[in-house]
Structure formats: structure tokens, C-alpha cells
A and B are shown apart, each in its own frame.
Chain A
Amino acid sequence: MNLKDIALLNLRRRKAKAAFVLAGLLIGVATMVALVGLAEALTHEINHKLEKYGANILVTPRSDQLSLTYEGMSLGGFSFETKELKEADLEKIRHIKNAGNLAAVGPMVLGVVRVGRQEVLLSGVDFEASEILKPWWKVEGAAPGPGQVVLGSEAARVLGLALGQEIVIQDRRLTISGLLTPTGSQDDGLIFSQVATAQGLLGKQGLVSMVEVAALCKDCPVEDMVEQISEVLPTAKVVAIQSVVKGRMETLKHFKSFGMGVSGLVALVGSLVVLVTMMASVKERTQEIGIFRAIGFRQSHVMRVVLLEAALLSLAAGVLGYLLGLGAGELALPLFSQGHGAHVAFDPWLAVGSLLLALVVGLAASLYPSLMAARMDPHEALRTL
């Protein structure tokens, strides 16, 4: 028989009150775990989706001229520069320190070609990388192979060409393997081919005009990657598309703030449940506490009994709450997520955190009742008999 045994035996005797305290903490911990787990799973999913938003780093040849176009609209003379990057240098991008964060690297060759009497922008692109870099592209037909092109919807309309027809560019006959459905962007007015085809037609063998890089991922250090690419390609201008990065950060921030706010609120309610129940329990045990004090328990001994009870219940609530929260998060995930394969994963830090949260909330809420019990006047307590 020691203080721990007294605490355990009391919990066993007052099952209803113990269950109430346990439930208060358990719901708090489970809610926190479910929300944080959900937020993590959704963040993961959102990051995955954001990766599909396309390129977020642009690599272009360094220039001393200012751009004369805005959102694809030319506001001055010819603003397209003829400086190029070496295709062989692109391999260096794949070896930067954060190469693991690279989702896609898409070189692009640009140049003006004449089709009949019309001048058109020809773009050589890596169609495999475009699936990540330009996921909104929908090609009616097929991606271009060697000797084939895909026309933007506006280009096809202006040039009066259709799928399967032939097009003559720089005296070379090419087949239209696909038509790009309208994108509402500058792409609608372009002709697309494989990079090598465009290089051949434009006489830019071994050169690329620009490179698009998709590097969005969770905790992706985009700014660091911009620096790393600048280091390996000193003649290039490397720019992060801030709106995408900032948008992503804003989304994550809102998710986390929401999770923290609700968790804090639920923890507060849980602590109030513990406080009220423990105070009721202490009052109910006035006689018992009087006996303890009369037979020589110090105030600290009485406090320890009450806090031990709270600690035992808190630990149980921490473990059960974590498991319940994990299950609840997994069950609730389909309501919030549209993705497949997303799940609330076991997180050892969250498990430790939920145990600590339960302990801190349980003990903090039991501190006042335990002080109340310890300071009870033993003479008064025994007079209540």
C-alpha cells in the first residue's frame, strides 16, 4: 500500500467519475489528433495538387533588356531575345543539392517560323515533362513525335488547319498529330513540336530558349533551389514564381491555424471538464481526506494522491485518444479529401505530443482541486462526518 495504490483503488471505486474525466481528456486528445492528422493528410494532398499547378521556377538567359510584354500581351516592339541556354547545361539542374525536390524539368526552344504568309511562334517542348509542367493541356489527338506538330487552337483556326493535315514549316512537311484544346493563354497561338524538331527547324541545335522547373512539394525550399540553379547556371536568370509559392504557404498557414485553434478550444473544454469533475471528486472525499490527514498524511501526500489519479487518467486518455483520433481522422478524411490514397499516417511525434498534451491538460486542471484537497482543514473535514 502506497500513494499510487490509493490513487488506483480510488479510480477503481469511482468508475463513473474516472470515466468522465477520461472522456473529457480523451475527446480533447482525439479531436486534436484527428484535426492535426487531417491537416497533415490534406496538406500532403494539397501539396501534391499544387505540384500539378505547373512550373514554379523559370530559367531564362540573362538579359539586360526589360520585357515589353505583360501577361502575354505585347506592348512594344519585338521583345523576344535571341540569347539561348546550352541544352547540355540543363543536366546540371538535375544535380543540385535539392535535386530530390525536382518534380519536372522542361526545356523549351522558341522561335518565329513562317507558315504560308503567317509568322507563328514555334515552341519545342518536352511533352513528357509538360504533363507535370502544364497539366491543364489537353491534346486532341496525340503528342507530337519526330516530324509531327501540335497546333494551339487559335493557331489552327488562323492557319485553317485540322488534325491529321500536313503543315509546311521552313520548307519542311510535318503532320499535325494533335490539337491543343483552348487554354485561354498564349499557348493557343503557338505551334508545338518535340524539342529536337524545333531545334532543327529553328537552327538552334544544342540550344534552348528557357527551362521550366516544377519544384513544389511539402517544405520545398524554392528560394534555396533558385539559388542552387543560379550557381550551376551562372549565365541564366532564375526566378521563382512567387504567387504560387506564396499561395501554397498561405494555404498551409490557414490549415495549421485552423487546426491549432480548434485543438486549443477543445483542450480548454477538456480541461474544464477535468477541473469540475476533480473538484466534485475532492468534495465528495472530504471525509476520506480528513482521515488521511488525521493519520499523518502531509498536505503534499494528499496532493500527490489527487495528481496521481489525474496523471493515470491522463496517460490512459493520451493513448486511447491518439488511437481514437487516428481512426476518426481516417474515417473523416474522405469527407474533406477528393484524392485517392490520402490517409492519416502514424506519426510518432504526434503520439508523444498527444500524451504530453493529455498529461499537461490533466495535471494543470487537477492542480487547483489537489491544492483544495491538501489545504482542507483536517478538523473541519472530520467534523463533516
Chain B
Amino acid sequence: MSFIQGQDLAKTYGSGEAAMTALDGVSFSIEKGEFVAVMGPSGSGKSTLLSVLGALNTPSRGRYLVDGLDIYALGSDQRADFRRQYLGFVFQSFNLVPYLSLCENVMLPLAVRKMASRQKRELAIAALGRVGLAGKQDRLPSQVSGGEQERTAVARALVNSPPILLADEPTGNLDARTSREVMELLARLGGEGMTIAMVTHSPDCAAYASRVINMQDGRLMEEGLMQVKLAACRA
């Protein structure tokens, strides 16, 4: 059984004539340690798919299983616990809390864990070190560059040592050089055995993934076509 499984996932917003189908019977599986990129044009349903994977958006139909756990059969609190224990999120717009230092932002997922403050701080500093931000822990998000903010978001996603990392356009707001740094960081994490699902528009970024899922009109497209293009990008 695959580590992550989506079975006939559908999501419709609104009802009647105004109904809009974002996901239309999507089934897929992701193995442990895979780095999967989800590509597709705007409105293809890839962000909806990521929010379903993030246990944030209940599908209208279908099942979503992680490690054998039917996520949307869980209660609200259990789903929150699942997100905390299994998932790390990296958002396109960083989503750092502006009044918290980089270290405090990274410590956020630990805030509800019973652990000594000193230990939480040590874990956060170690996570910042992993993404190349050692020594910058006391700065506010506004005092560092966009790339550093994105790396802080990655550190926050890593601090709990979750098995899955979900990234939504992680380089969408970054320049080419910083994008490359962030993608190399994600590829390194993938190499360390982390399961990664990343939504991206960029073939350059998708090239770092071990597999690409292409979406259109809420459905999955064949994977083979994309592989050719990605091989060219890697070269």
C-alpha cells in the first residue's frame, strides 16, 4: 500500500448553476520518499489538490489516505494533530507571522507541544541551520530577504520532523538565483527521504522532482508527456 493515496477525489465549490468543479475524480498514489511536482495551468485544480493533501479542504467525494489513515474520516482535532505530526507546509507568500522573529516563527509548530522552551529553541535554531540561516534567528521577517523568508518557512515546515512536506509555488515570489537555492534545498530534503508534494508552474522547478503529475480541468493528465520535457530541463 502506498504511503499517500488519493481515491476518486472530487471537489465542487458552490451549487446549482454556479457550481465549479475544481477536482474531478482524481486518483493517485505517492510512495514514501518521493518528490512529486504537481503542474498545470491556472484553475486546473492543483492548489485545491494541495489543500486536500494538507487536510485543510474536505473533498466533496473520495478518500484521502496517509499511512493507512483515512484523513477526512477524522474529527477536526485529529486532523489538526495529523497536520502537526505528518505535514510541513511551505507557502508561496512565505506566511511568516510578522511580529515573531525567525526563530519564533520556526518554533510555532512546537508551541502546542509539551517540551521545555530551551529545547524548542534548540530545535528551531537547528532547523534554521539546516536551511542556511544560522545566526539570523533573532531577526524579524521584515529584516531578511525574500529568499531567507522562504527558507525560514521551510525551516518551520521541518522543525517537527514531519514525514511529508507540502509546498505551494515555493519559488513564486523569488528571483532565479534564490529560486534555485530553495529548490536545491527541497531536492536535498527529498534526497534525505522526505516525501514532498510541490505545486508549481515552473518546469525548471518541476525538474527537481522525481515525478510530475500534470493537471488540467481538475483531472490528472498522463505523466509520460511531462517526463520528456523535464529530462530536457535537467540536462
Whether B112 lies near A296 (C-beta < 8 A) is yes
Partner among B77, B91, B110, B120 whose Cβ is within 8 Å of the Cβ of A382: B91
Partner among B84, B91, B99, B117 whose Cβ is within 8 Å of the Cβ of A13: B99
Chain B residue contacts of A293, Cβ below 8 A: 56, 80, 83
Closest Cβ of chain B: how far from A299's Cβ, in Å?
6
Q: In the complex, how many residue pairs between chain A and chain B have their CB atoms under 8 Å apart?
A: 84
Whether B80 lies near A296 (C-beta < 8 A) is yes
Chain A residue contacts of B81, Cβ below 8 A: 296, 298
Interface residue total, chain B, C-beta cutoff 8 A? 34
Chain A residue contacts of B82, Cβ below 8 A: 296
CB under 8 Å from chain A, chain B span 88-112:
89, 91, 93, 95, 97-100, 104, 107-112
Partner among A288, A298, A299 whose Cβ is within 8 Å of the Cβ of B97: A288
Whether A294 lies near B110 (C-beta < 8 A) is no
Q: B57 within 8 Å of A by Cβ? A: yes
Whether A379 lies near B83 (C-beta < 8 A) is no
Whether B97 lies near A294 (C-beta < 8 A) is no
Chain A residue contacts of B21, Cβ below 8 A: none
| Bound form: Cα–Cα A382–B81 in Å | 18
Interface residue total, chain A, C-beta cutoff 8 A? 27
Task: List the A residue with the shortest CB-CB distance to B78.
Answer: A298
| Bound form: Cα–Cα A5–B91 in Å | 24
Q: A295 within 8 Å of B by Cβ? A: yes
Query: From DSSP, what is the main secondary structure of chain A's interface residues?
Result: helix
| Bound form: Cα–Cα A1–B54 in Å | 24
Q: Can you list 18 residue pairs at the A/B interface with Cβ under 8 Å?
A: A1-B107, A5-B111, A287-B95, A290-B95, A294-B56, A295-B109, A296-B81, A296-B109, A297-B80, A297-B84, A297-B112, A298-B80, A299-B80, A301-B111, A378-B56, A379-B51, A379-B57, A385-B91
Known pairs A1-B108, A293-B83, A296-B109. 20 more at Cβ < 8 A? A1-B111, A1-B121, A5-B111, A6-B111, A12-B99, A291-B108, A295-B89, A295-B108, A296-B82, A296-B84, A296-B112, A297-B111, A298-B76, A298-B77, A300-B77, A301-B111, A378-B56, A382-B91, A382-B95, A385-B91
User: Could you list which residues of chain B lie within 8 angstroms of chain A, going by C-beta atoms?
Assistant: 51, 54, 56-57, 76-77, 80-85, 87, 89, 91, 93, 95, 97-100, 104, 107-112, 117, 120-121, 124, 156, 160
